[in-house]
Amino acid sequence: MKYSTMSLAIGFAIAAAITLGALPAAANHPVLVEGNNASDAGPGGTAAPPGAAGDYDGDGNVGVAEDTDNATDRIFGTIGAALLGANGGANANGHVVIVGSGRFPEQIMLPNAGGGQAVINGVTLLEAAPGVQANIDAVLQGDAGNATRQAGTGITINTQDSDRVIILRNLTIRNFQIGLQVMGNARVLCEHCRFDSNVVANVMVSGNAKLTLVDCDVRAGGMRFNPGKTPPNPGDGVVFSGQASGVISDCNISGNTAAGIRNTSTATIQVLDSDIFDNTPNLSGKIIKTD
């Protein structure tokens, strides 16, 4: 039997569609996150007067209610949901932009195994838009989840894939045990971010992970008052261990209870054009600092 060129093309297209349909869903499109402060709805609120309380699209939904209200608008109320794949989320592959100033009492994980996300699917950029204040904070007054968040990590990035890059930009992370934890073979670029008041360390890098920290403020590690002082444990600024490596450029690392930069890894950490002051000590381990 002879097949025409058109028939063969249709057959190949059907086979490709079946094959692709079996693959895990991935995304590579922009996703927006509202500035959820829920001020008009109370702590943990999910509704607000349209256009108020960080309601970017004016539909009256904020927080978790915005995560599930529409499968195609690609606007979310929480960062965690925006990074997952449901309802048009980025599925750890693409650009997640926080478009309105707000408070985000969340613990963020990439990938998020608890949310059904086994791997990081591609280059992922999480950032606050220019001029937006995005506070990822363990504490939201009156919220029942404060104690759990304060005992955990703000942002955890843990992947065995070395060909995925995570970019964090214009974020504030505070009041956790660890602000940012980078593990496994993760490759992370962190720009214009602020870390403070994280009890164990503001930033921790371990395994074979690689971190580039550019134009960031890393302050007051180990100092948390809510309402009383939490003992530092130990309160480092940036910590490297295992085989982790990194470059720190144009940063201010100051006022941390313990070391400004502590390196116990096998690699030498490079520090360029950074102000490191009022830590105990400022530098510990194999570090090359160039002004």
Q: Lowest-confidence range among 148-162, 166-180, 220-234, 235-249?
A: 220-234
State what percent of residues in the chain have pLDDT above 90.
71
Token code pair at residue 229: 């002082």
Instruction: Determine the structural domain holding residue 226 and report its residue range.
Output: 29-290
Could you tell me the pLDDT band of residue 4, with boundaries at 50, 70 and 90?
A: very low
- Residue 23 belongs to a domain: no
Residue 22 included in any domain: no
3 occurs within a structural domain: no
Which tokens is 102 given? 């707000």
Confidence of residue 59 (pLDDT cuts 50, 70, 90): confident
Local confidence band at 229 (pLDDT 50, 70, 90 cut-offs): confident
Distance between CA atoms of residues 287 and 239, nearest Å: 12
8 part of a folded domain: no
Residue 17 exposure: Cα atoms within 13 Å on the Cβ side: 6
Output the six-digit token pair for 69.
């209200």
| 224 vs 212, higher pLDDT | 212
Percent of the chain with pLDDT over 70: 86
Instruction: Place 49 in a pLDDT band, splitting at 50, 70 and 90.
Output: low
Residue 37 in domain: yes
Predicted confidence at residue 9, as pLDDT, reads 39
Residue 133: phi and psi, rounded to 5, are: -100, 110
* Mean pLDDT score, 77-104: 94
For residue 11, tell me if it sits in a domain. no
Residue 26 pLDDT > 80, yes or no? no
Say if CB 76 and CB 63 are below 8 A apart: no
Domain tally, the chain? 1
Q: Is residue 17 part of a domain?
A: no
- Phi, psi (deg, nearest 5) at residue 7: -65, -45
* pLDDT tens-digit series, residues 162-199: 999 999 999 999 999 999 999 999 999 999 999 999 99
Instruction: Enter the tokens of residue 137.
Output: 């904070």
* pLDDT class of 113 with cuts at 50, 70, 90: very high
| Beta bridge partners of residue 288, listed in sequence order | 270
